Chain A
Amino acid sequence: MSTASPAEDVEVAAARRPQPRRGVSFRDAGPPIALIVIFAVFSALSPDFRTLGNVQNILDTAAVLAVVTCGITFVLMMGSIDLSAPGIMGASAIAVALLVANNRNDNALGLVGVLIAVLLAAALGCLSGLALVLLKVPSFMTTLGISAIGLGLATLMFAGVQPNITDTMLESWAVDRLLGFSYLTWIAAACVLLGWLIQRYSRLGRYAFAIGGAEEVLSLSGVKVAPYKIAVFTLAGAFYGLAGVMVTSQLSAGLVQAGKGFDFAAITAAVVGGTLLTGGRGGILHSAVGVLLITVLTNGLVQVGVSPYWQGGVQGLIVVAAVAAAVIPQRRRNQVTK
């Protein structure tokens, strides 16, 4: 059967055989290592950077992006994309500002108001999922459309007069501190934990992962994937909604533009953390590391005195380099990249 000697055959087979593994692979270790290295470099360069106050500052800055990234990670794990964050965040930011105590109306719903805003956001996310599944519109376009709808809703509710909140609870989120970190930071940490639990222990999370890995196999095994896709977009919408509420808390006012730029910032953070845009790899913890990487980078560049004119370009370079490094193991000749 084979012209090679049996001994050689065994050798070849042994060399080719991958070792079965349970947990994370070495590739997953890249972003955390990068985070530590970057942190160490900035610490060495700048005495201002290595203060406890600055670390708190970094985490507080990262809070909103972390929550948005939690949501988008599930979508990216499926191999879809989600650009609806700005619109959904805008809608929920204005909605919550009008539902809690504010200068525009007599509402003072407090936490219930927050809940309603998050549900509104989840409903918008659900619409993205429905359009994707029922109308077969690619997620890139549906979520772009949903973002516009969200911004439209926000503009209608804004109605030309900025709602400033007077609700003490919501205002305190951004101001009050527990163990040195703002409430918003703790909320973000809770979201990361919740996201990780969903990803690890719920069928929704595991199937989102599987859809990105091999969707056809799921169908061949009798799993109906459509409901899971809708649920993932709904979940993502809820996370964006909470992020919108957090922005309103920071600004003490509802702004239509509350979510501006968070779509690409979140995608960048997730990808830098090791979540592939093609789906099936990465996860919440990866994304959390990505968020920290981006935030540390921004903060560090300021602390070491890099001109703000340079920061955008330097960040962009680092992002492209990180992604290029992540795809090296999958490169082959005549590969089609789109």
Chain B
Amino acid sequence: MTTDQQIEAEANAPGPVHALEVRGLVKHYPGVKALDGVDLVVHPHEVLGIAGENGAGKSTLLKALVGLVRPDAGEIRVRGEKVRLRSVVDAANHGIGMVFQEQSLVPNLTAAENIVLGSEGQGVRRGIYRWETMRKLAQEQLDKIGSTIDPLARTDTLSFADRQMVEIAKVLRIEERSQHPPVIILDEPTSVLEPKEIETLFTQIRRLREFASVVFVSHRLDEVLEVCDRISVLRGGRSAGEVLAADATPSELHRMMIGSTGSDNHYHDSAAKRPNLPREPMLTVRGLSGKTFRDVDLEVHAGEIVGIVGVHGSGREDLCRALFGAEPTTAGEVTLDGKKLDLSGTRAACAAGVGYVPAERKSEGMVGPMSVADNMTLTKQKSRCTGPLVAPRKQATLVDSWIERLSIRTPHRGTAIQRLSGGNQQKVVLARWLVAGDVRLLLLDHPSRGLDIGARSEVYRLMRELAGSGVATVLLADSLEEAIGMSDRIVVMSDGRMTTEVACPSGGKPTPLDLVKEMV
């Protein structure tokens, strides 16, 4: 710490000294309040859990804590001293480090190099590597967590769990940098680990507590309760309270996360007429297996919305993509409307009347600089063509009719889709499957992701309409609430298998807690 900072620290007159303190943190993105006044305190030698649904602001909060996001208002104090974190390095110098959800290691370097990266110290003299010194420096960090990884092993040859240990060792190096007990943030560290590896990780976290503060974020409430001392709950970008892990139950925690379940009529439940479902299902999946899912059976009828829920790593995303031919399958059979569905590629799926709305709208769902009209007619080229040629007038009429029908707010059909709001973009993406009028199965992968409430509601209304017109829908919802609100039936996936099925009729909806029990 420099003398300047010390003076500043004294001028800031610390109250009770917390390892880390956040007050009234606010961050706005266009159309979304990601953080809306979050308060948080981390004590020394404590494991603090942060729980919250998708979109509750967890990831924005974590990014603000390591200098990746600059908050619009509010303050962050480290050991009582007010700080402005401009970068990850800045945060590291203050003793805050994060183990990122997507691992941040250089795959083609050795573990040792990754651990000391950016602060090699004695490991490099005059630009020349001293491998032995570097190995020792890395070994010191690995010893702190009692890891037996070979520091000179290439990182991409290590298992995921070992790479995570390397990452923790790397973060621990900030202890020497800041000369203080570090604050270590673990963002969804368990999502890709095997149960046994999770146990090891928890042992590590308890060990870390001896000399550091830990902030632990996970979707799995049982894990949060098991490993944390105290849990702070976020909801809609605000602090929704905190509990001591010893006193709390999963149900209590979940209630805090979703709040009082208010009126859910933005799911347009009334529009969910339960027509007599046809006896024969539109989609039949038998014993489908792929990279991350095994032996899946599924039936979806025309007019039915089936939600698939599961934690990260349950395999539901890959299953959804596999039904569209975008992920390879190893076994199983799928029939659509009585005919065998060819899963060898996306083209065959499109031709058979399967539509897919990907989760990553910007990179997979649309071609940003292209016009609304061209995006809408991207897949069903025939709809805008006469013979082999594009018929501009035919396209214009078609696109304009859908713009009106879905009330897409765009200045013109020729406007680049990237200039539209997220909700309107999503409507165009949906319209892409509707223009030819031949879609029979819609696979919706997080269709409401990143949309504000108004836009979500419109997407929901559209989903209801489509279901009403006889389209079979598979929904991977953004939250449990959404899955329950929109689905007629919910299928739970866990570790690549379908574990259970919950009826979800209008008026007899299960609670999120009923599902959570099945998911973990």
Give me the interface of A with B, judged by CB distance under 8 Å: 1-4, 9-10, 12-13, 16-22, 25, 200-204, 206, 209-210, 212-214, 216-218, 220-223, 280-281, 333-334
CA distance A206 to B109 in the complex (A): 8
Given A9-B196, A222-B92: A2 and B495 within 8 A (CB)? yes
Given A201-B128, A221-B88, A222-B89: A210 and B326 within 8 A (CB)? no
B interface residues, tally (CB under 8 Å) = 46
B54 within 8 A of A: no
Contact digits for B120-131, partner A, Cβ 8 Å, 1 yes 0 no: 100010011101
Q: Does B108 lie within 8 Å of A212, measured CB to CB?
A: yes
B520 within 8 A of A: yes
Q: Does B107 lie within 8 Å of A280, measured CB to CB?
A: yes
- Indicate which residue in B108, B152, B153, B495 contacts A280 across the interface (CB closer than 8 Å): B108
Q: Does B108 lie within 8 Å of A202, measured CB to CB?
A: no
Q: Does A21 lie within 8 Å of B109, measured CB to CB?
A: no
What residues on B are CB-neighbors of A214 within 8 Å? 104-107
What residues on B are CB-neighbors of A202 within 8 Å? 127-129
The distance from the CB of A232 to the nearest CB of chain B, in whole angstroms, is 13
Q: Does B128 lie within 8 Å of A222, measured CB to CB?
A: no
CA distance A12 to B117 in the complex (A): 33
B470 within 8 A of A: no
B507 within 8 A of A: no
B119 within 8 A of A: yes
What residues on A are CB-neighbors of B196 within 8 Å? 9-10, 13
Q: Does A222 lie within 8 Å of B106, measured CB to CB?
A: no
- Indicate which residue in B118, B150, B326 contacts A221 across the interface (CB closer than 8 Å): B118
Q: Does B109 lie within 8 Å of A209, measured CB to CB?
A: yes
Q: Does B499 lie within 8 Å of A22, measured CB to CB?
A: no
Closest A-chain residue to B223, C-beta based?
A: A1
B157 within 8 A of A: yes
- Indicate which residue in B105, B156, B327, B346 contacts A217 across the interface (CB closer than 8 Å): B105
- Indicate which residue in A3, A10, A201, A218 contacts B495 across the interface (CB closer than 8 Å): A3
Q: 7 tightest A-B contacts by CB?
A: A222-B89, A221-B118, A20-B153, A222-B118, A213-B108, A17-B159, A21-B157
B450 within 8 A of A: no
CA distance A19 to B158 in the complex (A): 6
Q: Does A222 lie within 8 Å of B88, measured CB to CB?
A: yes
Other contacts beyond A210-B106, A212-B108: 17, CB < 8 A:
A1-B520, A9-B196, A16-B159, A18-B158, A20-B157, A21-B154, A22-B154, A202-B128, A206-B129, A210-B108, A210-B113, A217-B106, A218-B117, A220-B88, A221-B104, A222-B89, A334-B326
Q: Does B124 lie within 8 Å of A213, measured CB to CB?
A: no
**Can you spell out 14 A-B residue pairs with CB atoms less than 8 angstroms apart?**
A2-B195, A3-B497, A9-B196, A12-B194, A20-B159, A22-B154, A206-B113, A210-B108, A210-B113, A214-B104, A222-B88, A280-B108, A281-B108, A333-B327
Q: Does B104 lie within 8 Å of A217, measured CB to CB?
A: yes
What residues on A are CB-neighbors of B109 within 8 Å? 206, 209-210, 213
The distance from the CB of A268 to the nearest CB of chain B, in whole angstroms, is 22
CA distance A333 to B328 in the complex (A): 7
B53 within 8 A of A: no
The distance from the CB of B78 to the nearest CB of chain A, in whole angstroms, is 18
Q: Does B105 lie within 8 Å of A203, measured CB to CB?
A: no
The distance from the CB of B368 to the nearest CB of chain A, in whole angstroms, is 15
B494 within 8 A of A: yes
CA distance A22 to B131 in the complex (A): 13
Q: Does B157 lie within 8 Å of A220, measured CB to CB?
A: no
Contact digits for B336-348, partner A, Cβ 8 Å, 1 yes 0 no: 0000000001100
Q: Does A9 lie within 8 Å of B158, measured CB to CB?
A: no
Q: Does B153 lie within 8 Å of A1, measured CB to CB?
A: no
Q: Does B494 lie within 8 Å of A222, measured CB to CB?
A: no
Given A202-B128, A203-B129, A222-B88: A213 and B157 within 8 A (CB)? no
CA distance A206 to B159 in the complex (A): 23
B87 within 8 A of A: yes
The distance from the CB of B59 to the nearest CB of chain A, in whole angstroms, is 15
- Indicate which residue in B104, B129, B153 contacts A201 across the interface (CB closer than 8 Å): B129
B229 within 8 A of A: no
CA distance A10 to B199 in the complex (A): 13
What residues on A are CB-neighbors of B157 within 8 Å? 18-21, 25
Closest B-chain residue to A216, C-beta based?
A: B104
